[in-house]
Structure 1
Amino acid sequence: MTAVLTDSVQVEADQIVAIDNFDTMYYTINSAIHKKPKNNPALNYSNVQLGVPTAVNAFNPLKINVFYQDFNTVVILDNRFAEIFKIDFNTKQPYKNVTHVSTGYDNTIWIFNQDLQQLELYDYKADKIKATTLPVQSNVLDLKSDYNYCWMLTENYLYQYTYFGSLVSKIKNKGFKSIAVTNENLVIETETGLLYKPTNSETLITIATKGMLIKQFLLTNETLYIYDRNTLRKYQLKIK
């Protein structure tokens, strides 16, 4: 698979969070989260009490979840960056030590419960666990999701689950470091480059990324974005 460069732009950010189909960019600088629509003024959000966010997930732009691991807390933002919900897991019974968070359907988020070593689908409005997975035996490296599935990368395996918590697939981790997901297709980062995993397939296709410095990567439909600390490059993925 080839990655054909179609555009590049200078960006100063700690992390590029997401880029949607309308070229709206979500990114972080220090403790602030920024949303920059292509032709509209930027919005930003920061929480002085909680500090620098550990992870931001903008898969659902109407319910953006911001995770502050040091405080075991998630804040849900709407599309205008107004706070619509705050989840402090320190106050929940039973107590939950959360290390990873990703978007679920409706009012749910996927959380990895470190103490139980399992993935849980948590309804934050009902304060109820809707689904759980079997415990895993290794550290979690990455967590990504859409409305139907959740992908969890651990040191040993890459797991795919339904929103009922049922295991769909399990692939041995052969040097995988992180993942990006779009339309149930995955791009997987390894020590040597990027791999493409089509939906409903365990085939891993090498993406030609020779010479690319990859600090971060994102996937939106068939568009691959690669960020190298000051330049965001846009590539079109094409099967050879």
Structure 2
Amino acid sequence: MKTFFYILFLISFSSFGQEPIETTFVSKSPFEADTVIGIDNFGTIYFIKKNTLYKLDEDGKYSYSNVQFGKITSANSFNPLKVTIFYEDFNTAFILDNRFAEILKVDFSTLEYYKNVSFVSTANDNALWVFNEDIQQLELFDYKSNKNRATTLPTQSKVLDLKSNYNYAWLLTEKFLYKYNYFGSLVYKMENIGYTSLVESNDKIFLIKNNRLSYFNELEKAYQLIETPELLTKQFLVTNETLYIYDSKFLHKFQLNNK
């Protein structure tokens, strides 16, 4: 029996092998949105409300709506000069400039090689990371040449989330967390122990399960709990060392410590 509990301890320690990350409360502000997309270093907020994408900054508010394409599935503001918005029902993405004017429409159904896409995220240059449902593979798609720059091996379970930056893409599935480089090569593959979504900030990954947040420590290959007050976490975002938690009524701001 002692051996059994010792094994359980080792398994737990391998997943959560470090001290929890403490947070310091900064502010709490009333906010209304269906989905908060991103908050940058200057406090610019990107969000979706009533199927319209908004950008709110010190210069005012910009909006983008395209109701003929149905409900907005996702949007990505990582590159503020090329904001990506995706409509899964019509298998189409749009690239918007910093004032939300359309730069390009990408209809994956009309390509020479049809793609049935379920997740889209901004990549480097003129590229998007897209998850192709039909072949269960992540692809780095160049929307100027309409060709793939890279393709990963098929995943082994249902995809839950996709995030990326200029150099890497992180794919969360029911079984694993994958990290790929710009060439589509696998950097690491970690067991997913129940996480349902993730966010990225400066190559750092944060995840959520059962309303609890964690940081994935790549050096230790361990998930590190983040201590926060008991809040309904409808969404969370991280910008540098700042954690934002949206509870559907208020936007809570915290400073991350000891990370």
Tell me whether 1:207 sits opposite 2:204 in the alignment.
no
Amino acid at match of 2:44: T
Tell me whether 1:227 sits opposite 2:259 in the alignment.
no
Q: Which residue of the partner structure matches residue 155 of structure 1?
A: 174
Kept after mapping to 1: 8 A contact 2:71/2:89: no
Secondary structure of the residue aligned to 1:42 is: strand
Describe the shift of the 1:201–1:46 C-alpha distance in structure 2 as closer, same or farther (beyond 3 A). farther
TM-score (norm 2): 0.90
2:219 and 2:54 map into 1 onto residues whose CA distance is 34
1:200 and 1:129 map into 2 onto residues whose CA distance is 31
Deviations 1:108-158 (A, max 9, x none): 000000001000000001111000000012110000000000000001100
2:231 and 2:223 map into 1 onto residues whose CA distance is 19
1:140 and 1:93 map into 2 onto residues whose CA distance is 25
Q: Which residue of the partner structure matches residue 30 of structure 1?
A: 50
2:32 and 2:211 map into 1 onto residues whose CA distance is 25
1:146 and 1:57 map into 2 onto residues whose CA distance is 10
Q: Tell me how far 1:192 sits from its aligned partner.
A: 5.1
Q: Tell me how far 1:49 sits from its aligned partner.
A: 1.3
2:82 and 2:164 map into 1 onto residues whose CA distance is 14
Secondary structure of the residue aligned to 1:91 is: coil
Q: Tell me how far 1:203 sits from its aligned partner.
A: 2.2
Kept after mapping to 2: 8 A contact 1:32/1:52: no
Describe the shift of the 1:201–1:128 C-alpha distance in structure 2 as closer, same or farther (beyond 3 A). farther
Greater displacement, 112-121 / 48-57: 48-57
Amino acid at match of 1:47: N
Secondary structure of the residue aligned to 2:208 is: strand
Matched ranges for 1:89-108 at <5 A? 89-108=108-127
| Stretches (4+) displaced over 6 A | none
The correspondence for 1:63, drawn from 82, 85, 109, is 82
Amino acid at match of 1:67: F
Secondary structure of the residue aligned to 2:112 is: coil
Matched pairs, number = 239
Secondary structure of the residue aligned to 2:109 is: helix
1:153 and 1:114 map into 2 onto residues whose CA distance is 14
Q: Which residue of the partner structure matches residue 160 of structure 2?
A: 141
Tell me whether 1:51 sits opposite 2:58 in the alignment.
no
2:210 and 2:48 map into 1 onto residues whose CA distance is 25
Amino acid at match of 2:187: V
Amino acid at match of 1:52: K
1:40 and 1:201 map into 2 onto residues whose CA distance is 42
Q: Which residue of the partner structure matches residue 8 of structure 2?
A: none
Q: Tell me how far 1:205 sits from its aligned partner.
A: 1.2
More helix by share: 2
% identity of equivalent residues: 51
Q: Which residue of the partner structure matches residue 14 of structure 1?
A: 34
1:71 and 1:30 map into 2 onto residues whose CA distance is 18
Secondary structure of the residue aligned to 1:212 is: coil
Which runs of no fewer than 5 residues in structure 2 stay unpaired? 1-20
Tell me whether 1:79 sits opposite 2:98 in the alignment.
yes
The correspondence for 1:171, drawn from 174, 177, 190, is 190
Q: Which residue of the partner structure matches residue 115 of structure 1?
A: 134
Q: Tell me how far 1:225 sits from its aligned partner.
A: 0.5
Q: Tell me how far 1:200 sits from its aligned partner.
A: 4.3
Task: Indicate the RMSD between aligned Cα atoms, in angstroms.
Answer: 1.1
